[in-house]
Chains A and B, each alone.
Chain A
Amino acid sequence: MDTLIQQIINGLSLGSVYALIAVGYSLVYSILLFSNFAHGGFLVIGGYICYYTLAAMGHNIWLSGLLAMVGAGVVAILVERLAYKPIRERTNVTLYLLIASMGMSIVIENIFVVTVGGRFRALPPVIPTDPVNFFGLATTSAFDLLSLGMAVLFLAALQIFLSKTKWGLAIRAASYDLRTSGLMGVNVNRLISIVFFVAGLLAAVGGIFLSVRYTLYPQLGFITIKAFVAAVIGGLGSLPGAVLGSLILGLAEMLTAGFISSQMRDLVVFGMLVLTLLWRPSGLLGKQVSEKV
């Protein structure tokens, strides 16, 4: 029983970090309709900014976290402006964007390999990882509870942004029909920049928690594959779907690790992807609003 509750908490914690990454990825997908493979790069940039500012400016995780978020958000905007905007202004074929994003992913990864090197780095112990007794039911770590709490906080903030603000409404409209939202007076280029900023910012939060969990290295961005899988399981382009898929994935991974074998977790993850694609290719909450003709 103890193990079960403990693994559920761990699973939700891991899943909620996946959700931060998957939601940003899904947001970009819903607007521009391509898989942004450079999304993992945003996460790594967030991680490294946090690592170096922690070392340089005293161990203040709040300040470093903020800088990491803003930094990754700005880099995300730059990536879009440099690599994607010239393409989307010339063609509607999203395949080119996909290829460009693979290129940007390689560029970002290798910038870190050549500048700071490929070795594994541990963040200084600024986020507590002590064991915590969870209401006498199970023992878990403070880190898991913290990352779960922070992820919930950021996802709630995103939800409020999307549902209560003018630009949030514009993003929801644009995710249905980008061109028509331009007709409504929305500066589409600015909207896309905002979306990339938000995606980069959320990826940085995920990146910081993942750097603590797994240490930081230039290829840490590959973990985004899990977030892609989560987004597909939940339904590409759907934000609640991305969160749901991430939580399911996190739970499946941790329960597999706890009760079967840690080596089986990826098998389960990709097995779930295959099953989803077989039975429900549009995902659990894929876009399904029907339109009368």
Chain B
Amino acid sequence: MTEAQNQKQPLLSVRDLHVSYGAIKALRGFNLDVYPGEIVCVIGSNGAGKSTLMNAIMGNVKKQSGKILFEGKPLEGQSFQVVTKGLSLSPEGRKVFAPLTVYENLMMGSFPVNDKEKVKKDLEWVYTLFPRLRERRSQYAGTLSGGEQQMLAIGRALMASPRLLLLDEPSLGLAPIIIKDIFKELKRINEEGVTILLVEQNARQALLLSHRGYVMQTGQLVMEGDAKELLHNPEIQAAYLGTGKKAH
């Protein structure tokens, strides 16, 4: 148990979550807790159900059964209602609005925020985190490089002033050096008070960044624990990190 866990109630709790797409079961009883101030990652291979978890939290897919609690209260409604409660998602594949400018994309992120001063402050913060976005603010998002688009997707999610930032595969399709840059900024975002939950196929980077990790396999939780411990666990090394000796 980390210090954070001892003191506070979880910011986000997922309890026995089941989600199906028709006959296909994507999540079969998943459990997860995120405490305030933490960075938590869910790792797992392609198709394990990681994105489904994110979409279920955001109200984008219907859950079959189970509970999702945010600050102790059930998280219900469609995604546009969920965003107003203090969590936002940087979706898989970035999904920036290609025909809008960088600035307009960020303004879309601040849609649920009505306080103009707050929007101004958040914009300044995002530009400080990602100076590249300030340089390119009047450029169309579709003309940005993959790394810049990922920065924009994260910045756009931050514009909603979330207490919990959800990140779906922020390293997808990016060069290792750019991944490093982006993860450095994620650490900084966390240090400035935003709790982070990320799902990643890039297990090494995710575990290096996180405080705690969950391992997901075919929609189920197979292991959880301190990120450092997971990083050195021989089974995890063999299955997700491609290093170390085979576990058997």
The chain A residues found within 8 Å of chain B, CB to CB, are: 166, 169-170, 172-173, 176-177, 179-188, 287, 289-293
A170-B160 Cα distance, complex, nearest whole Å: 14
For A163, the closest partner residue in chain B by CB is: B104
Residues from chain A with a CB closer than 8 A to the CB of B130 are none
Residues from chain B with a CB closer than 8 A to the CB of A287 are 99
A176-B95 Cα distance, complex, nearest whole Å: 10
Q: How many residues of B contact A (CB 8 A)?
A: 32
**Would A166 and B111 count as touching, CB distance under 8 A?**
yes
> Nearest Cβ in chain A — how far from B93, in angstroms?
10
> Nearest Cβ in chain B — how far from A267, in angstroms?
36
**Would B173 and A176 count as touching, CB distance under 8 A?**
no
For B84, the closest partner residue in chain A by CB is: A185
**Would A186 and B99 count as touching, CB distance under 8 A?**
no
Residues from chain B with a CB closer than 8 A to the CB of A291 are 98, 142
In the complex, B144 has a CB within 8 A of chain A: yes
In the complex, B100 has a CB within 8 A of chain A: yes
> Nearest Cβ in chain A — how far from B109, in angstroms?
6
The chain B residues found within 8 Å of chain A, CB to CB, are: 58, 60, 78-80, 83-84, 88-89, 91, 95, 97-100, 104-105, 107-109, 111-112, 140, 142-146, 149, 156, 160, 173
**Would A184 and B111 count as touching, CB distance under 8 A?**
yes
> Nearest Cβ in chain B — how far from A252, in angstroms?
29
Residues from chain A with a CB closer than 8 A to the CB of B173 are 293
**Would B60 and A183 count as touching, CB distance under 8 A?**
yes
For B146, the closest partner residue in chain A by CB is: A292
For B156, the closest partner residue in chain A by CB is: A184
**Would B104 and A169 count as touching, CB distance under 8 A?**
yes
**Would A184 and B160 count as touching, CB distance under 8 A?**
yes
> Nearest Cβ in chain B — how far from A242, in angstroms?
16
Give 10 A-B contacts (CB < 8 Å), ordered by A residue. Answer: A173-B108, A176-B100, A183-B58, A183-B83, A184-B111, A185-B84, A185-B112, A188-B80, A292-B142, A292-B149
**Would B146 and A186 count as touching, CB distance under 8 A?**
no
**Would B104 and A292 count as touching, CB distance under 8 A?**
no
Indicate whether A181 sits within 8 Å of B140 (C-beta atoms), given known contacts A172-B100, A291-B98, A292-B145: no
A176-B58 Cα distance, complex, nearest whole Å: 20
- Taking a contact as CB atoms closer than 8 A, the residue among A185, A289, A293 that contacts B146 in the complex is A293
Residues from chain B with a CB closer than 8 A to the CB of A182 are 60, 78-80
A179-B55 Cα distance, complex, nearest whole Å: 12
Q: Which of A166, A170, A291 has its CB near the most chain B CB atoms (within 10 A)?
A: A291
**Would B104 and A185 count as touching, CB distance under 8 A?**
no
A69-B204 Cα distance, complex, nearest whole Å: 59
Residues from chain B with a CB closer than 8 A to the CB of A188 are 78, 80
For A181, the closest partner residue in chain B by CB is: B108
A96-B160 Cα distance, complex, nearest whole Å: 35
Indicate whether A184 sits within 8 Å of B99 (C-beta atoms), given known contacts A292-B142, A293-B146: no
> Nearest Cβ in chain B — how far from A46, in angstroms?
30
